[in-house]
């Protein structure tokens, strides 16, 4: 039986492949979804990949994860730096939650150096491109015995 995992993506991540490829790479959002689902299946996960530009929707998804004890891989996008509502929803987690970033925020603009999510996440993976998601899914498998 597969364990359900949510891979949640915040603002602008649906534009992968066309949005700043020098920063975020050439892989499209569809490629990201495929990567997560294929590796997830190998790890015994049923991966549900979602993307939203809406803070309220992200908060509802985090509530869904908390209510169902569903592990989460979370790329908050710009919400990382200012969404205390999302941070508070993530703090309610009842299963591991791994924060992920495609780029390394610490090598970018100063405003990106602060994550309001990091303190309530199980861990953070950043700077490995789409590979950050693969590393996060593998970390989840280790964490929950996937």
- Tens of pLDDT, residue by residue over 113-128, are 678 999 999 999 999 9
Residues 6+ apart with CB under 8 A from 29: 13, 14, 15, 16, 17, 51
Write down the domain spans for the chain: 3-144
pLDDT digits (tens, 9 = 90+) for 33-70: 999 999 999 999 999 999 999 999 999 999 999 999 99
| pLDDT band at residue 23 using 50, 70 and 90 as cut-offs | very low
pLDDT band at 104 (very low <50, low <70, confident <90, very high): confident
In sequence order, the 6+-apart residues with CB closer than 8 A to the CB of 102 are 16, 23, 24, 25, 75, 126, 128, 129, 130, 132
Confidence (pTM): 0.88
- pLDDT bracket for residue 26 (50, 70, 90): low
Q: What is the CATH number of domain 3-144?
A: 3.40.50.9100
Is 130 assigned a ligand-binding role in the annotation? no
* Catalytic residue chosen out of the listed positions 24, 63, 113, 133: 24
Is 103 one of the annotated binding-site residues? yes
Q: Is 81 annotated as a binding residue?
A: yes
Summarize the confidence of residues 69-89 as an average pLDDT: 93
Active site residue 24: yes
112 labelled as ligand-binding? yes
């Amino acid at each position: 039986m597969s364990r359900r995992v949510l891979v949640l993506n915040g603002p602008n991540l649906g534009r992968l492949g066309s949005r700043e490829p020098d920063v975020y790479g050439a892989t499209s959002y569809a490629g990201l979804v495929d990567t997560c689902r294929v590796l997830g299946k190998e790890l015994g996960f049923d991966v549900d990949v979602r993307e939203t530009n809406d803070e309220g929707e992200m908060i509802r998804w985090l509530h869904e994860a908390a209510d169902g004890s569903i592990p989460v891989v979370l790329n908050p996008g710009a919400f990382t730096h200012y969404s205390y509502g999302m941070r508070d929803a993530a703090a309610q987690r009842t299963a591991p939650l791994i924060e992920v970033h495609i780029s390394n925020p610490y090598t970018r603009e100063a405003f990106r150096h602060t994550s309001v999510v990091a303190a309530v996440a199980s861990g953070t993976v950043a700077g490995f491109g789409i590979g950050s998601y693969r590393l996060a899914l593998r970390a989840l498998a280790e964490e929950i015995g996937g």
